[in-house]
Amino acid sequence: MTDLSGKTIIAIGCGTPDGQINNGFAAVRAFLAAGARVCIVDRDAAALEHARAALDAGDSLGGEAPRFTTVAADVGDEDSLTAAFAHCAEVLGTPTVLHYNVGIVVNGGLDTLDAEDFRTALDINLLGAFRAMKLALGHMREAGGGSIITVSSVGGMRHMGYDYPAYAASKAGLIALTKATALQHAAEGIRANSIAPGLIETPLIHGSISGHYASVEEMLAARHALSPTGRMGRPEDVADLAVFLASDAAAYINATVIPVDGGLVHRAGGVEHDTTTAVDDTN
């Protein structure tokens, strides 16, 4: 099993609104299971409370020192992010891993989007990552190195059939930002890589898109069929890669974007589905 003992991870966008396992909270659980200390950051106080309750109910977080903490912060507010990093350092120790799992979808093509909608997608999906990465760099330099993990999307790598150019542009920008950061800071022992989920079976899709189908079963069957593997991924598939990228086992992996999609992004031809049902599977 991958060992993250001694590492402090700040995991942004990793609460769970309803106590169920989404991509962000799956990563938190996997980080903790691997021995890391984790600061869970989310702008939704209820999502943090659900995460705290779910972790407190577990029996694998024993020990005298705290293994996790939670703090509310908005990636659009640099002051609140700065305070979150300070809280993490004070309670758990200097964060040497940043896991940025934030993303919103803004639907609509160029003929329907206005500039403010486009700007909102960029501010949260891309500028939010810029703010968090910039803060993380200072802590990682202090520690002599670290790992930045951004959660992008296969939608930032190729057209997925959805009508969401603002989302695609912001996620493509996140991939480029991650690679540029990796190359600029590699000599300081700081790595940066991006995970690009494809179709993941998260609680979000049940609430957001199942209404576009005759039944939940029809929705699941349709999305499973889109994957070359015949099934959607699970949040744990994304989390397992995050644990590896956070670990010393990935010490020579840098400036990469790794799809977690069953091969979907490389499949020839289009991706046929209902373009009204776009949903961000990164969260």
From the list 100, 167, 213, 252, the catalytic residue is: 167
Structural domain harbouring 84: 8-264
Compute the distance between CA of residue 43 and CA of residue 13 in angstroms, rounded to an integer: 7
Domain for residue 281, yes or no?
Answer: no
Q: What is the CATH number of the domain that holds 257?
A: 3.40.50.720
**Residues 29/61, Cβ–Cβ less than 8 Å:** no
- 3-31 residue pLDDT tens: 999 999 999 999 998 888 999 999 999 99
**Residues 51/31, Cβ–Cβ less than 8 Å:** no
Domain for residue 283, yes or no?
Answer: no
DSSP state string for 238-253: HHHHHHHHHSGGGTT-
- 182-235 residue pLDDT tens: 999 999 999 999 999 999 998 877 765 555 678 888 889 988 998 999 999 999
167 is known as an active-site residue: yes
Domain for residue 275, yes or no?
Answer: no
Compute the distance between CA of residue 16 and CA of residue 19 in angstroms, rounded to an integer: 5
pLDDT value at residue 147: 98
Residue with tokens 């576009």: 212
Domain for residue 119, yes or no?
Answer: yes
pLDDT value at residue 202: 87
DSSP alpha helix (H) spans, 19-114: 23-33, 45-56, 78-91
pLDDT value at residue 163: 82
Domain for residue 282, yes or no?
Answer: no
Compute the distance between CA of residue 31 and CA of residue 132 in angstroms, rounded to an integer: 19
Between the two ends of the chain, the Cα-to-Cα distance in Å is: 25
DSSP state string for 204-222: HHHHHTGGGSSSHHHHHHH
Total domain count, the chain: 1
Compute the distance between CA of residue 254 and CA of residue 38 in angstroms, rounded to an integer: 22
If one counts every other C-beta atom within 10 angstroms of the C-beta of residue 39, the result is 27
- Residue pLDDT tens, the chain, 283 long: 799 999 999 999 999 988 889 999 999 999 999 999 999 999 999 999 999 999 987 644 555 578 999 999 999 999 999 999 999 999 999 999 999 999 998 888 999 999 999 999 999 999 999 999 999 999 999 999 999 999 999 999 988 777 889 999 999 999 999 999 999 999 999 999 999 999 999 887 776 555 567 888 888 998 899 899 999 999 999 999 999 999 999 999 999 999 999 999 988 665 555 444 444 455 5
Domain for residue 270, yes or no?
Answer: no
**Cα–Cα nearest to 212, from 201, 223, 225, 202:** 223
Domain for residue 61, yes or no?
Answer: yes
Domain for residue 74, yes or no?
Answer: yes
